[in-house]
Amino acid sequence: MEQKLTIQSSDKKFLENVSGILEKARKNAKTAVNLSMVYAYYEVGRIIVEEEQHGENRAAYGKKIIQELSEYLTNHFGKGFSVGSLKNIRQFYKVYSKDQIGETVFSQFENLPIVDTGRKFFLSWSHYLKLMRISNIEERHFYEIESIKNNWSLNELKRQYDSSLYERIALSTNKDKVYQLALEGQTFEHPSDAVKDPYILEFLGLPELPEYSESELESRIIDHLQQFLLELGTGFAFIGRQVRFTYDEEHFMVDLVFYNRLLRCFVLFDLKIGELKHQDIGQMQMYVHYYDRNIKLPEENSTIGIVLCKDKKNAIVEMTLPEDNNQIFASKYKTVLPSKEELKRLLQEQMTEENGGEKS
């Protein structure tokens, strides 16, 4: 007869503590193995490059040694060392041997195994295969830092890159902050740091034309809450949908309520499927004032309100809001992935304007 193990509450805590330690150790061991391969590929890339430089006819010689090395490694280790794979390893070294990045933002990873190569790595080989193909070094640094800070999977990294996260954040801020993105990734110091323009909601599966209602848009967001939180950025926690409050015997509903633990404030979203009107901004101002006066704690920061709309005119926003506004924002959303080229062009135009008409 199989005996059933009965666990007392105190024993259960003890067992869970031991189990937690072992789970953490296994995870760290897996991470260590993955990182060891990244460092190994970096070293292999260095050796290939140095060997190629010895040949008189470097192009022909390089092709020859790559082919011979592929055959040799395949015989010894099996699959994974095709000519194409070795070319990727060589390119990995060429890119990252000249690519230094500030490492103070990675202090939480200082217990991970580090090899003395002059360059620290924290991601999987698959991540670096994607990253090394980003030619803009500032943009590459941004995605590397964000992948590490937010523990992005490869699919999440690809999605954020395809949705032009770097360009969208850069468009929402000033040129000095653009430079900071390459050093620290996305930071949350001011209310505007929590806002993107536009937000990309391609994961909702909605058509580009407004053939859906605001309630359907809201429902789709809730159905894809994990992806929406990823789109919002670091530090967001979901509070509720259609959050009701009563003021002067009237009932009001806030479409979506979040809390950002880094800014330590509530973030309210109102969804509009059409063009933004000044009444929409006024309604959000009322929501924000109510939360500031009746919901938030004294030690928390002022509430942020974001009207998420299909279209907007910046002139309407500027004339409706006070000049010193730092709480109410209007952002467009897109239900299809944007063109990276178009966003890059808009970013260049914006930086040119901020430089007084001179190209940066």
Q: pLDDT for 124-167, tens place per residue?
A: 999 999 999 998 898 999 999 999 988 899 999 999 998 888 88
Which of residues 67 and 212 earns the better pLDDT score? 67
Q: Of 111, 132, 147, which closes a domain?
A: 111
Residue 207 lies in a domain: yes
Q: Does 346 fall in a domain?
A: no
Phi and psi at residue 270, to the nearest 5°: -120, 130
Quick count: other Cβ atoms within 10 Å of Cβ 27?
10
Find where tokens 């299809």 sit.
Answer: 336
Q: Say yes or no: 206 and 302 in one domain.
A: yes
Region label for 78, one of left (φ > 0), alpha (ψ between -120 and 50) or beta (otherwise)? left
For residue 198, whether the previous peptide bond is cis, meaning omega lies within 30 degrees of 0, is yes
Cα 173 off chain centre by: 16
DSSP letter for 261, please: T
Instruction: Let me know whether 212 and 105 are in one domain.
Output: no
Distance CA 308, CA 77 (A): 53
Which residue, among 225, 212, 199, 205, has the nearest Cα to 307 in the 3D structure? 199
Residue 58: what pLDDT? Answer: 60
Whether residue 315 is predicted with pLDDT greater than 60 in this model: the reply is yes
What's the pLDDT score for residue 64? Answer: 80
Helix (H) or strand (E) run with residue 43 in it: helix 9-52
Residue 104 has pLDDT above 80, yes or no: no
Enter the DSSP assignment of 299: T
Report the mean per-residue pLDDT for the chain. 81
Q: Which of 111, 140, 175 is the last residue of a domain?
A: 111
- How many CA atoms lie within 13 Å of 60's alpha carbon, on the beta-carbon side? 2
Q: Are residues 208 and 97 in the same domain?
A: no
Strands 250-260 and 304-311, how do they pair? unpaired
Q: Does residue 216 sit in the same domain as residue 97?
A: no
pLDDT at 301 over 80: yes
Residue 313 lies in a domain: yes
Q: Are strands 236-247 and 250-260 parallel, antiparallel or unpaired?
A: antiparallel
Q: Could you tell me the residue range of the domain that residue 29 belongs to?
A: 14-111
Strands 304-311 and 328-334 come out as parallel
70 and 86 Cβ atoms separated by less than 8 Å:
yes
Confirm whether 234 is domain-assigned.
yes
User: How many angstroms separate the CA atoms of 186 and 177, rounded?
Assistant: 9
Q: Are residues 203 and 307 in the same domain?
A: yes
| 210 falls within a domain | yes
Do the domain assignments include residue 118?
no
**Total domains, the chain:** 2
Which CATH number covers residue 294?
3.40.1350.10
Task: Retrieve residue 283's tokens.
Answer: 């309604």
Q: Which residue has the tokens 């259960």?
A: 12
Q: Are residues 203 and 107 in the same domain?
A: no
Rounded mean pLDDT of 100-114? Answer: 53
Residue type, 58: R
Last-in-domain residue among 60, 80, 111: 111
How far, in Å, CA of 156 to CA of 43, rounded? Answer: 28
Q: Check pLDDT > 50 for residue 1.
A: no
pLDDT tens digit sequence for 209-264? 556 788 889 999 999 999 999 899 888 999 999 999 988 888 999 999 999 999 99
Give the model's pLDDT for residue 237. 94
Which residue in 139, 101, 138 sits closest to 121, CA to CA?
Answer: 101
| Same domain membership, residue 103 and residue 208 | no
Q: Which of 63, 55, 149 is nearest to 104 (CA)?
A: 149
> Is position 241 within any domain?
yes
Sign of the C-alpha dihedral computed for residues 319, 323, 326 and 331 taken in this order: positive
Q: Please, how many CA atoms are within 13 Å of residue 26, restricted to the half-sphere of its CB? A: 6
The one-letter amino acid code at 239 reads I
Has residue 6 been placed in a domain?
no
